Amino acid sequence: MHNSALKTDLYELTMTAAYFDVDLNLPATFELFVRSLPEPRGYLVAAGLEQAIEYLEAFRFDSEQINFLRAQPVFAHVSSSFFEYLAQVRFSGDVWAIPEGVPVFPSEPLLRISAPVIEAQLVETYLLSMITFQTSIATKAARCVQSAAGRSVLEFGSRRAHGPEAGVLAARAAFVGGCAGSSNVEASRRFGIPMFGTLAHSFISAYGNEEQSFRDFTKVFPDDTVLLLDTYDTLEAVKKIIAAGLKPAGVRLDSGDLASLSKEVRRRLDQNGLRQTKIIASSDLDEHAITALLAANAPIDVFGVGTALATSKDAPALGGVYKLVEFNGEPRAKLSESEEKISYPGRKQVFRYCKEDFYTGDVIGLKSEAFPGTQPLLEPVMAEGRRVGPRPTLGDTRKRSFTELSKLPEDVRRLKNPQRYKVSISSGIERELQTVRNRTSPVRLIA
Amino acid sequence: MHNSALKTDLYELTMTAAYFDVDLNLPATFELFVRSLPEPRGYLVAAGLEQAIEYLEAFRFDSEQINFLRAQPVFAHVSSSFFEYLAQVRFSGDVWAIPEGVPVFPSEPLLRISAPVIEAQLVETYLLSMITFQTSIATKAARCVQSAAGRSVLEFGSRRAHGPEAGVLAARAAFVGGCAGSSNVEASRRFGIPMFGTLAHSFISAYGNEEQSFRDFTKVFPDDTVLLLDTYDTLEAVKKIIAAGLKPAGVRLDSGDLASLSKEVRRRLDQNGLRQTKIIASSDLDEHAITALLAANAPIDVFGVGTALATSKDAPALGGVYKLVEFNGEPRAKLSESEEKISYPGRKQVFRYCKEDFYTGDVIGLKSEAFPGTQPLLEPVMAEGRRVGPRPTLGDTRKRSFTELSKLPEDVRRLKNPQRYKVSISSGIERELQTVRNRTSPVRLIA
């Protein structure tokens, strides 16, 4: 983990060199948030905080990294003492965050970091990619799980993820979002996520003889065997299973018309005493395909979702940003020419209203404000560079996301054309914004 | 690298356990290819081979990983000798591949692996995610570079990548596809990619005083300073630069109407003797936005492309597959019910026709076939588990992609509605397919 310090943008290092050399390494507060909800999403599910904390706890540059930086022409005029500073810098700041598994909305800070500006700035790129990636996958998983209406959803997308490490992180985030498990073995080892696997067409092709491959695989894996049906002909494969007297825990359909095939497979299994055998479907599934299959009464018990989930294919990036909101005790903001790129000043908290077990709206306010009857979402997770509070288990986080999502109004959770959840900005923040505007050069707003 | 062995799907391990326990660890050949071109792409640029080779060279399970696997209930009935086998297994196979930087098309094997089936099967998931991810990013980069018509394109998307490691790999693949460099520092350290950085709005916001922040930043970075203009008001920022007598190497526009702003900024810079100052634009760019800006004669010298590039946002996954084509010396194929999921049997080669410096079409044939006047694309890259041939520098690979792409017909390279490049299947492969069909159970093709 310690060698992650260079996984950052060059400008984080040039800016911090400038802060150092002009003696401006003053206390700063940054907030990480998402600008907008990718359609057709009505909510996001926060994820990735655990890896963010681990990174901050371990943050350091090793000597090879320092030597690399010193040798770069861009740093030719930077003082040598900056690199001596970098060689010993650790993250010593305070972090508040919205816990993983909690639904969040645009402009709401998922993370608030207060630290000397150099420390807070160096970690921007890593935190953004870790948190917005996992948040996008947890969100997609929650949508798939919602569409499955109580049936299990498994994450099967490692092979289509953005490199092998992204596959491991996607498996974790999918579990946070409600998946029952993943095919990814490293995610199981690292995070304890239940792992699931069946067999591939190649195994059956290798034999050439489908029935023999089923027999042999069942011999080695007598419990929980899942046999793949569509290497040659799905319904013929069912016949062979029945003829051979096999009793697989499940069968998997991976191509063809899943609705009609699953019905016919179910009928044949049931007719032959295989009522316990589950039907698992995979094949370019996503929340919309699952909805359509269940609307067609497809008797599918488990959905394996791959590419659409591990890449959040219809919205593979969230517009995550990390904005300076306070510097040396004073509020700061970006007062851009385009209204949608404005950021709000001041240390914030998100206050959530709840009525009869449903969330009814949020106020983004200053940390110092109070909104009676609301629940504040950001909690302290690091103080002076150290983790505070208990480390939740991943299983608890997953349970939390189920509970939390059940409190969102139905129309906000809707998978298409959701209603917009109400998020307002407090008068305290509006006042801070005015303070910032008055202090800086006049802003000319152009359309 | 050695701890990557578990970055795989569980079924790779269950299938290999079965092969081991039924004594079927026979020679096998797998091929990795992409099923279709995501619209509106006319070509793909192969990338990721170097990391694939490094992974195969280092492939091994350590004792902690073996112990983890042994403890999993799914393996309860697997023989202990399988785990002893895993503990000492190394990749000992032969690998042929299409070099990085070469344009490729659907169904063309990017990689062909011949090894004992267990070795070849275990590496499937890692190879697919590494090669298809980098290929998708190199392709997107090539499109952006093409749209920039000779101006530089920089990869700025690390913060939106699928986790920090995906950002590093995206920077590499973008360089292969023709980008001039990246903002990612680790990619520069690891791969020697030129790195670029400017400064962020937060630096200017921290000061509150834009002019002072420009002066200080220029003092620390007197060479190649790039100043960011849109924290408050783009044109006012230009006035301040001129008034302060600064001579930045570049200025960056990050919001607003980039076409009109760049013209006005250029005019004011030129009027004040800053003809050398380059204009860099960033702000949700992609190949289509760049095309539109250049069509509007925007005087932009450098394009920074972030999210769209680092996630290949409009097509974040390629339909990469890894198919068994030969087992124990006999051809194998998946004869699925759906025509588009069929895979072709036999060890293949891609034969490319070239006429007057332009590629005119490919034939996917058997390795043993000959097509006079064509260039075979797959080259041996590993023999008996060891790298063969020279390791190309990344700079040479990037040059190669420029040369190769210049040989694609204009209408195949077109960024929208490209003409389909002609790829045909040889009669030798059709014969092999018939052999496989005749040998296995009759296939019923349903619509």
The minimum CA-CA distance between A35 and chain B, rounded to whole Å, is 13
pLDDT reading at A353 higher than 50: yes
Q: Average pLDDT of A183-210? A: 94
CB A186 within 8 A of CB A192: no
Contact B206 A117 (CB under 8 A): yes
Chain A contact set for B26 (CB, 8 A): 206
Structure tokens, B218: 């220029």
Q: Could you say which of A21, A159, A332 has the minimum Cβ distance to residue B220?
A: A21
The SS3 call for residue A42 is: coil
Of the candidates B389, B391, B361, B390, the one whose C-alpha atom is nearest the C-alpha of residue B374 is B361
Query: For residue A8, what pLDDT is reported?
Result: 98
Choose among A9, A188, A446: nearest Cβ to B256.
Answer: A446
pLDDT digits (tens, 9 = 90+) for B4-15: 999 999 999 999
Distance CA B323, CA B121 (A): 10
Contact assignment for A160 to B320 by CB distance below 8 Å: yes
Q: Which two tokens stand for residue B254?
A: 């990050």
pLDDT at A446: 32
Please answer yes or no on whether A183 and B9 come within 8 Å at the CB atom.
yes
Beta strands (DSSP E) in B24-73 are 27-34, 44-45
> Model confidence over A85-113: pLDDT tens digits?
999 999 999 999 999 999 999 999 999 99
Per-residue pLDDT of A113-123, as tens digits, reads 999 999 999 99
Complex confidence, ipTM: 0.96
Q: Which residue's entry shows tokens 């005493």?
A: A273
B-chain CB neighbours of A255 within 8 Å are 336-338, 341
Q: How far is B203 from chain A (nearest CA, A)?
A: 7
* B337:A234 CB<8 A: yes
Q: Which two tokens stand for residue A135?
A: 């948040």
CB-CB under 8 Å, A77 with B222: yes
CB contact under 8 A, B202 and A72: no
Contact A197 B129 (CB under 8 A): no
Residues in A closer than 8 angstroms to B219, CB to CB, are 21-22
What letter does residue B251 receive in the DSSP assignment? Answer: E
| End-to-end Cα, chain B, rounded Å | 45
Which residues from chain B sit within 8 angstroms of residue A185, using beta carbons? 6-10, 13, 69
Q: What is the rounded distance in angstroms from the CA atom of residue B171 to the CA atom of residue A251?
A: 41
Mutate which of B159, B207, B441 to disrupt the A interface (most A C-beta within 10 Å)?
B159
Sign of torsion, CA A17 A21 A22 A28? positive
Q: Which residue of A has its CA nearest to B184?
A: A9
If you measure CA to CA, which chain A residue comes closest to B438? A208
CA B375 to chain A, closest CA, distance in angstroms equals 30
Residue A50: the pLDDT is: 98
Q: How confident is the model at residue A342 (pLDDT cuts 50, 70, 90)?
A: confident
Q: Which residue of B222, B313, B335 is in closest CB contact with A316? A: B313
pLDDT at A224: 85
What pLDDT shows up at residue A339? 63
Q: Which residues of A113-126 are buried (b: 16+ CB within 10 A; e: fewer)?
A: bbbbbbbbbbbbbb
User: What is the least distance, in Å, from the CA of A167 to any CA of chain B?
Assistant: 8
Contacts of B169 (CB under 8 A, 6+ apart): A162, A163, B48, B51, B130, B133, B134, B137
Q: Which two tokens stand for residue B409?
A: 């017909």
Count the residues in chain B. 447
CA separation for the pair B8, B260 (Å, rounded): 50
Q: What is the predicted pLDDT for the residue at B135?
A: 98
Residues of B within 8 A of A76 (CB-CB) are: 223
Question: Which residues on chain A are in Cβ contact (under 8 Å) with B259?
Answer: none
Reply yes or no on whether the pLDDT at A59 is more than 70: yes
Structure tokens given for A431: 């006042």
CA closest to B284 among chain A residues: A319
Residue appearing with tokens 């499109």 = B143
**Helix spans in A208-253 (H):** 210-220, 234-243
Tell which phi-psi region holds residue B174, choosing left (phi > 0), alpha (psi between -120 and 50) or beta. Answer: alpha
CB contact under 8 A, A200 and B15: yes
List CB contacts of B63: < 8 A, sequence separation 6 or more: B87
How many percent of chain A have pLDDT more than 90?
91
How far is A337 from chain B, CA to nearest CA, in Å? 6
Pairs across A and B, CB distance < 8 A? 380
Residues of A in contact with B208 (CB under 8 A): 327, 330, 332, 439-440
Taking contacts as CB-CB distances below 8 angstroms, the residues of chain B near A230 are 336-337
Most confident range (mean pLDDT) of A16-30, A331-345, B329-343 is: A16-30
B440 vs A302 pLDDT, higher one: A302
Chain A's closest residue to B187, CA to CA, is A7
Per-residue pLDDT for A1 more than 60? Answer: no
**447 residues of chain B, pLDDT tens digit each:** 448 999 999 999 999 999 999 999 999 999 999 999 999 999 999 999 999 999 999 999 999 999 999 999 999 999 999 999 999 999 999 999 999 999 999 999 999 999 999 999 999 999 999 999 999 999 999 999 999 999 999 999 999 999 999 999 999 999 999 999 999 999 999 999 999 998 899 999 999 899 999 999 999 999 889 999 998 899 999 999 999 999 999 999 999 999 999 999 999 999 999 999 999 999 999 999 999 999 999 999 999 999 999 999 999 999 999 999 999 999 998 776 566 667 899 999 999 999 999 999 999 999 999 999 999 999 999 999 999 988 999 999 999 999 999 999 999 999 999 999 999 999 999 999 998 888 754 433 333
The confidence score (pLDDT) of residue B338 equals 63
Give the distance, in angstroms, between the CA of residue B337 and the centroid of all CA atoms in the same chain.
31
Output the six-digit token pair for A194.
Answer: 């239940």
Binary contact (A167, B7; C-beta < 8 A): yes
Q: In a mutagenesis test of the B interface, which of A3, A10, A36 is the best target, namely the one with the most B β-carbons within 10 Å?
A: A10
| Distance in angstroms (rounded) separating the CA atoms of residues B234 and B221 | 21
The structure tokens listed for B425 are 């299947």
C-alpha A75, offset from chain centre: 35
Of A68, A130, A219, the CB nearest to B189: A68
Contact B167 A125 (CB under 8 A): yes
B223:A77 CB<8 A = yes
Mean pLDDT for the stretch of residues A232-236: 93
Domains of chain A with bracketed CATH: 26-57+92-135+319-439 (3.20.140.10), 138-310 (3.20.20.70)
Which residues in chain B touch residue A129, judged by CB atoms under 8 angstroms apart? 158-164, 166-167
Torsion of the alpha carbons at A229, A235, A237 and A243, rounded to the nearest 10: 140
- In what helix (H) or strand (E) does residue B311 lie, and over which residues does it extend? none
B208/A440 CB distance under 8 A: yes
> Who among B30, B126, B332 is closest to A164 (CB)?
B126
Q: Do B162 and A161 touch (CB under 8 A)?
A: yes
A-chain residues within 8 Å CB-CB of B36? none
Contacts of residue B390, Cβ cutoff 8 Å, sequence gap at least 6: none
* Per-chain mean pLDDT for chain A: 95
Cβ pair A335:B446 closer than 8 A: no
Euclidean distance between CA atoms B140 and B177, whole angstroms: 8
**Nearest by CB: A133 against B30, B126, B163:** B163
Q: Which of B26, B30, B185 to mutate to test the interface with A (most CBs of A within 10 A)?
A: B185
Q: How far apart are CA A389 and CA A282, in angstroms?
A: 40
Q: How far apart are CA A216 and CA A165, in angstroms?
A: 33
Query: Who has greater pLDDT, A333 or A328?
Result: A328
Q: Are A247 and A274 in contact (CB under 8 A)?
A: yes
